[in-house]
């Protein structure tokens, strides 16, 4: 490897299966504000653009109550705050690493690959989860929903991190599980390794990708093609 290589990772559904804990936080908020709850599988399709977007898609997609725009925003903010407070206290109850993640991170570290997380989770929650699940030290940078003034699918979420790491877009890979990750990478000119059965409503055939994998088992072979 003649030049430093960078791999950017999404977090929810890519590195960690966070759906069970997100479901509990989501349903806690739903019950408190008078809405119906959802199953873990339903939650998986809503995750990816941050807490506000997830709650918005869940509620306003099939609203049982009607609010004016002002009330909508006020209540939505209250719900997002409640969600983040509850989730922050219950972030690592049932979440687990995606198969093969730890082994891959160890391999990549030995190859001197720079690694960073680009997630639409709030930065402090992302860092807390990565620490609690035991993989935080593998990453040189963690960029959350609120790290910059923009986030995925805006490609600057990725390109800014590459710049911070003194990397090169031409020597960068993105690993994600949804169109949010794929579109950001595509617009940044970064190849995408897409995980099947991601946190998305779309089929993998509808999502841009250069490589499709079940999990991190054997993903080293793909990465070696770029080194």
188, two tokens: 């940044």
Distance CA 66, CA 200 (A): 27
Token pair of 150 as six digits: 């923009």
Query: How far from each other are the two terminal CA atoms of the chain, in whole angstroms?
Result: 5
Which of 10, 12, 21, 177 is catalytic? The answer is 10
CB of 26 within 8 A of CB of 32?
no
Q: CA-to-CA distance for 116 and 5, rounded, in angstroms? A: 11
Rounded Cα–Cα distance for residues 143 and 111 (Å): 23
If you count them, how many residues does the chain have? 227
User: Which parts of the chain fold into alpha helices (H)?
Assistant: 19-33, 40-44, 51-59, 69-89, 101-110, 123-132, 156-164, 179-188, 220-224
The answer to whether 211 and 55 have CB atoms below 8 angstroms apart is no
Establish whether 12 is a catalytic residue. Answer: no
Q: Could you give the residue numbers annotated as active site?
A: 10
């Amino acid at each position: 490897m003649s030049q430093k290589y960078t791999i950017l990772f999404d977090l929810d559904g890519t590195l960690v299966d966070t759906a069970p804990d997100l479901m509990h936080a989501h349903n806690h908020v739903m019950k408190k504000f008078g809405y119906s709850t959802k199953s873990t599988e339903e939650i998986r399709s809503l995750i990816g653009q941050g807490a506000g977007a997830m709650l918005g898609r869940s509620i306003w997609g099939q609203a049982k109550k009607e609010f004016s725009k002002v009330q909508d925003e006020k209540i939505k903010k209250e719900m997002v705050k409640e969600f983040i407070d509850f989730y922050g206290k219950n972030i690592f109850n049932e979440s687990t690493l995606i198969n093969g993640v730890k082994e891959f991170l160890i391999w990549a570290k030995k190859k001197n690959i720079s690694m960073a997380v680009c997630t639409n989770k709030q930065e402090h929650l992302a860092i807390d989860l990565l620490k609690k699940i035991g993989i935080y030290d593998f990453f040189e940078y963690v960029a959350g929903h609120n790290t910059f003034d923009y986030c995925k699918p805006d490609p600057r979420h990725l390109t800014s991190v590459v710049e911070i790491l003194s990397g090169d877009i031409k020597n960068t890979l993105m690993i994600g599980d949804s169109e949010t990750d794929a579109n950001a990478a595509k617009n940044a000119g970064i190849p995408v390794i897409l995980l099947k059965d991601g946190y998305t409503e779309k089929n993998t055939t509808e999502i841009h990708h250069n490589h499709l994998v079940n999990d991190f088992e054997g993903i080293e072979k793909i990465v070696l093609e770029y080194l």
